[in-house]
């Protein structure tokens, strides 16, 4: 009990700790250097709240102390935790349904020519996007050969993605026939959750990747999804990220971004064919 009360007291004391402008700038520069993410001044409350528990955990009295910790020689593990906390993005099953309608027709067309589709979900977060894709491919192609790889910088969300375990409040996002075919309802201690069927989980490959770095040798893909990610980058970083992904897309393949994003002025290697859907020339 003493430990619990001490921890709670420490959290209470941190309620009065503010993130100074200089400290916020240091974190902004750090996350930009590591992940290419540009954080506006409006993100200061987010940084404050997400890192507060780490200050409490280490019993630190300022955000400056925490910054010194994560940038020290021995701070690599804690630095990854900080990066994970500051790069978590929202995602949903079957987000932007028109993209999935398009992919359904594209996959059917590709399969007719006996060409197994390969799809890369870049910045996959907690896995809702690649599992949505896997449900679609399995419905269309069944046991035929197809491949989905999914990547993210955030190690914590990748762990959740590999587990394939979600709260039941995500259920309305998934079409009813997919729920019955690919999802298991939790019982007992797992009540209130749904689990992606093992057969589907085993067909999605997850790996950690920083978008501002050169990707590993992955071969060529028919589709690359980089949706609702470019909005976090400045123009220079957008160009860098897209230029590093496009060599992994087949000629004639499709590059999908979020509906609030564009590749105009970012790459002349693609052409717009539908809102937020580009084809490699």
Residue 152 annotated to the active site: yes
Q: Are 192 and 167 in contact (CB under 8 A)?
A: yes
Q: How far, in Å, CA of 130 to CA of 138, rounded? A: 12
The CB-based long-range contact list for 114-118 (8 Å cut-off, 24+ gap) reads: 115/222, 116/144, 116/145, 116/146, 116/147, 117/141, 117/146, 117/147, 117/222, 117/223, 118/146, 118/147, 118/148, 118/149, 118/219, 118/220, 118/221, 118/222, 118/223
Residue of 84, 118, 138, 152 with catalytic role: 152
DSSP state of 227: T
Q: Which positions ≥6 away from 225 have C-beta within 8 Å?
A: 99, 119, 120, 121, 122, 129, 133, 256
Residue 50 annotated to the active site: yes
> Could you give the C-alpha distances from 191 to 49, 126, 129, 160, 187, in angstroms and in order?
29, 20, 23, 17, 4
Q: Which 3 state secondary structure label does DSSP give 127? A: coil
Which positions are annotated as active-site residues?
Answer: 50, 152
């Amino acid at each position: 009990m003493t430990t619990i009360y001490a921890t709670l007291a420490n959290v209470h004391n941190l309620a009065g700790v503010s993130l100074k402008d200089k400290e916020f700038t240091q974190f902004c520069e750090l996350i930009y250097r590591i992940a290419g993410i540009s954080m506006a001044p409006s993100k200061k409350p987010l940084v404050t709240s997400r890192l507060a528990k780490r200050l409490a955990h280490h019993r630190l009295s300022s955000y400056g102390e925490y910054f010194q910790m994560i940038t020290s020689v021995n701070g690599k593990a804690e630095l990854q935790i900080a990066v994970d906390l500051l790069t978590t993005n929202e995602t949903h099953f079957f987000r932007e349904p028109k993209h999935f309608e398009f992919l359904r027709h594209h996959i059917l067309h590709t399969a007719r020519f006996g060409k197994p589709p390969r799809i890369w979900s870049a910045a996959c977060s907690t896995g809702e996007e690649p599992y949505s894709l896997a449900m679609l491919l399995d419905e269309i192609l069944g046991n035929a050969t197809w491949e989905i790889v999914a990547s993210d910088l955030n190690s914590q969300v990748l762990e959740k993605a590999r587990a394939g375990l979600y709260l039941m409040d995500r259920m309305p996002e998934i079409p009813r026939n997919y729920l019955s075919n690919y999802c298991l309802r939790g019982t007992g201690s797992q009540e209130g959750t749904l689990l992606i069927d093992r057969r589907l989980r085993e067909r999605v490959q997850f790996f950690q990747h920083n978008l501002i770095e050169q990707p590993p040798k992955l071969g060529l893909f028919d589709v690359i999804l980089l949706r609702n990610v470019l909005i976090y980058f400045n123009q220079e970083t957008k160009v860098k990220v897209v230029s590093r992904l496009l060599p992994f897309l087949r000629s004639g393949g499709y590059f999908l971004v979020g509906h609030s994003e564009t590749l105009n002025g970012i790459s002349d290697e693609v052409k717009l064919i539908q809102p937020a859907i580009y084809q490699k020339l």
